[in-house]
Every structure is written in structure tokens, then in C-alpha cells.
Amino acid sequence: VVDYAGLFPPAALDMKRAVRNFAHYRAGGTGWMLGRFVCPANRLDEFSAAADPLLPRDAGAIPWLLSVTGSGNVHADLEAITAFNERHRVCFDECGARVDSYEAKGSSVPEIIALHETLPSTVHVWMEVAFGDHVDELVEAIARVGRFAKMRTGGVTPDAFPPAARVVQFLRALLTHNVRAKATAGLHHPLRGAYRLTYDDDAPTCRMFGFLNVLLAAAVLVDGGTDELALQLLEEQSPASIVFTDTHGEWHSPAGVVTIARHTLQQVREQMLVSIGSCSFTEPVDESRALGWI
């Protein structure tokens, strides 16, 4: 569920601390929720130095997977990724770590096509689409080249958070064009609400999106719901309004109960919203547990 981005704000941890955290989370009881370690392309050597003593070496062990964020120089990034994967393939028979994903901005159709043509098909490429009037066009281009999309839902300043309607527009485009995506930034918490923008004691607060709201809003669209219904769910702040059973989820909306089947949630996770990026792993886990959802 969570790609761990502890190197990035507001956590902005040093490499050794972020790597130790990832190893700890991976070995814990909620390690099933942990996805990739997110690392800038120009810090892969630093990651190797910090992670080598902690990487799995046993036969059959599952390697650490990394998602690399682009530096703006795609060719240099690709060289760094190739060198990293070759080094770890040589050092560890079972490949203790591997970069299998690359994240970069896809600001225009020509840029999307150029990224696709430069990067090999063996790398999952997540193209970040800026919110605006051309979202559908950009997502359609991503579908055409067979890559993945990415949306940024927040940051460390209030103006980094898009209107909820823009998030729904992005989700609708994913469904229309059958594109998988990840969401990142400002998604530390399960539910919509006002939270501190950073970890400073005097940090201002801002209304943030909940990662569960985003996932459930996508599920409503998959089930044939309207954009307006998805928008209402994206704004839901009451945990009492959302109930899960072994077979389905229920959202007690102002207009009545909306039922979302388990297979719909599975479809969303596999075919629409694959993961979220967060600089914190403990907040999504601990808050979900406190709400009784883990």
C-alpha cells in the first residue's frame, strides 16, 4: 500500500535513518503494507552504502524494491539505475535490492512519448501529471504508450493541495483510459481532515486528503458512481461513516448507504491505484489500526 519516501519532506530523514526504518518496517507485522523505498536517482550510491549490511542475502529472500525519482536528466538516471542493478546482481546472488520503478514528470504529450522511448520496458515508469484542463489528454497519452500515471495530492504548503474536484478528474481519467497510477504527497492519514503540514510543533495546519478516501472514491467510480458521489466521498471526514466487513465496505453517505464489494476494492488496487507514497509509514499504519481497520 505505502511506498516509503522517508527521505522526502516533511520527514526529510538522512539516508541511514530512512534505510533503517525501511528494514524495521519490512520485518514487522505490518510489513505486508510496505511497498518500495523511494530514492532520488543521484543518491543510489548513498543508499547502497547505508543498506548493504541490511539487505537480504538468504536463498529465496525477497529483494528490496526501489522506486527512483528522476533528476531531470533521464539518461544519467538510467545509467545510475543500470549500474545499481548490476552491482547488486553481482554482489548478491538473490539480488538484495533492485530498482524496478522510475518516477518523472509527464507535463506534455511529447514529454510522455520521449520518456517512454528513452526508458526500457523492464522499468515501471510513473509519469506525474499536473492537475489542470489537460489531465485527460495526458492520461490518454500514458495509456497509449503503456506506462503508468502519478498524481501529487499535497505538499508542505497549503497551495500544494489541489481542489478535490481535480483529484476526481484524475481518477475518472484513469478509469476511462484503463491506466494504473500511484498517488503521493499529503497522504499520511487514512481520512480527510486538518493536519499539521510539517512535524514542527508550531507548523500550520491544512485540510489534507485521506488515502482511504482516495481509494474508496476510485472504487465508487469503478462501480459506476458519478463524479459528484466520488467528490462527496473524497471529502468524508467521519470514521463512523465507513464500515468494513469481510465481504464489502459501506459508506454511510448523506444520501444513503453506498456498498463497495471486496472484488471492486481488489480491482482498484490491481488496475487503478496501485500504491501511495508517504514520508511516514507509521502514521498510515497506526491511525488505520486506531480506527479498527487493521
Q: How confident is the model at residue 98 (pLDDT cuts 50, 70, 90)?
A: very high
92 has pLDDT over 60: no
Sheet of 248-253: strands edge to edge? Answer: 242-244, 248-253, 256-261
90 has pLDDT over 70: no
234 has pLDDT over 60: yes
Specify the pLDDT at position 95: 64
Are 210 and 192 in contact, with CB atoms under 8 Å apart? yes
Grid cell in block for residue 216: 474508496
**Which whole number is the average pLDDT over 119-123?**
94
Specify the pLDDT at position 91: 55
9 has pLDDT over 60: yes
Specify the pLDDT at position 57: 79
pLDDT (tens digit per residue) in 39-52:
999 999 999 999 99
Specify the pLDDT at position 94: 54
Q: How many CB atoms lie within 10 A of CB 86?
A: 10
- Work out the mean pLDDT of the chain and round it to a whole number: 94
Specify the pLDDT at position 293: 87
109 has pLDDT over 70: yes
Grid cell in block for residue 203: 507548523
SS3 122: coil
25 has pLDDT over 80: yes
Q: Across the strands, what pairs with 248?
A: 261
Q: How confident is the model at residue 61 (pLDDT cuts 50, 70, 90)?
A: confident
Specify the pLDDT at position 6: 98
Grid cell in block for residue 253: 453517505
101 has pLDDT over 70: yes
Specify the pLDDT at position 89: 78
pTM above 0.85, yes or no: yes
Burial class from Cβ neighbours inside 10 Å (0-12, 13-18, 19+) for residue 46 reads middle
SS3 205: strand
**Which whole number is the average pLDDT over 180-203?**
95
**Which whole number is the average pLDDT over 113-122?**
95
Q: Which residues of 208-246 are buried (b: 16+ CB within 10 A; e: fewer)?
A: bbbbbbbbbbbbbbbeebeeebbbbbbebeebebbeeee
Q: How confident is the model at residue 58 (pLDDT cuts 50, 70, 90)?
A: confident
